[in-house]
Amino acid sequence: MRKDCIFVEESKIIDHQHYDDDISILRLESVKCSENAIPGSFIHLKCNEELLMRRPFSIMKIEKGKWIEVLYKSLGLGTQVLENLKKGDQVNFMGPIGKGFKIVEKKRTPVLIGGGIGIPPLIFLLDEIKKNKSMKPFVFFGSETKLPFKYSPSKILIKSLPSHIIASVDFIEANNIPSRLSSTKDFPGFHQGYIHELVEIWLKSLDKNKIEELSIYSCGPKPMLREISFLAKQYNIPCQISVEEHMACAVGGCAGCIIKVKEDERISAKRVCVDGPVFDAATIYYE
């Protein structure tokens, strides 16, 4: 792989599916970006010729040399323009951008924790982790809107969780990987509450040896990442988080996406687009 290369691709929309609650999944033709993307990397997409500012989206799935897929929620002008594009339309994007997740091979139980539009990069990560048969991943997703994935009562028993928390994502369970879901909404089989509460119930039930096997990978809203980082610190679990910031250039040139990190007892500034978006959770400085 050509490390840190960002390509500009003029691409055709191969598929564009729309789901409840303004969620869409967009599949774009891509040769170079798909070949070089790693879990956690993102694209910077031009929604149309009039909108000068591109929009950043995490890569959710790839087929090397063929396509990439992103999942997005329509919120403002750019994503609404995007939502109206059809199969066959052309779009321009830059990618893959950013430093992604590094799989910690010696920790055999990767715990993937995704919230809302933070779920997509974890699906890409899970696809990579699955290739190593000795790893036993565990997935927690939280969402306040309907998920665009089918879910059903799990057949994989997790004794430490209350039996009513039973909903699991079908495509994850099909690989014999346990998953559990949470929402403050009353969705059947979900933990009703915040995702970090669900993770904490599970962590409390594990003995020291099991805890030592864990590494956490997470992406989601800031308050969620903060809680997950605190949990990781409390249980001494290595934790990588993918951070979201407003972006302009996305190639490191404008300093529009700065966050504060702790390095050698000092606070320094990092650009989320090129120094991240994935950071060691222990280094993030919270005001």
Query: Given the rule CB under 6 A, which residues bind ligand FAD?
Result: 42, 53, 55-58, 70-73, 75-79, 117, 120, 244-247, 277
Nearer of residues 33 and 228 to ligand FES, judged by Cβ: 33
Task: Residue 119: name the closest of 167, 69, 176, 60 by CA.
Answer: 60
Nearer of residues 42 and 202 to ligand FAD, judged by Cβ: 42
Task: Residue 245: name the closest of 234, 261, 231 by CA.
Answer: 261
Dihedral sign computed on CA atoms, order 283, 100, 247, 241: negative
Nearer of residues 167 and 247 to ligand FES, judged by Cβ: 247
Nearer of residues 54 and 196 to ligand FES, judged by Cβ: 54
Residue 277, contacted partner among ligand FAD, ligand FES, none, CB below 5-8 A by kind: ligand FAD
- HSE value, Cβ hemisphere, 13 Å, CA-based, for 43: 33
**Shortest Cβ 253–ligand FAD spacing (Å):** 15
Contact 121, 113 (CB under 8 A): no
Q: Give the Cα separation of 29 and 116 in Å (integer).
A: 25
Contact 58, 121 (CB under 8 A): yes
Nearer of residues 71 and 97 to ligand FES, judged by Cβ: 97
**Shortest Cβ 108–ligand FAD spacing (Å):** 28
Residue 271, contacted partner among ligand FAD, ligand FES, none, CB below 5-8 A by kind: ligand FES
Q: Which residues bind ligand FES (CB under 6 A)?
A: 247-250, 252-257, 271, 273
**Shortest Cβ 256–ligand FES spacing (Å):** 4
Contact 39, 101 (CB under 8 A): yes
Hey, what amino acid is at 86? Answer: K
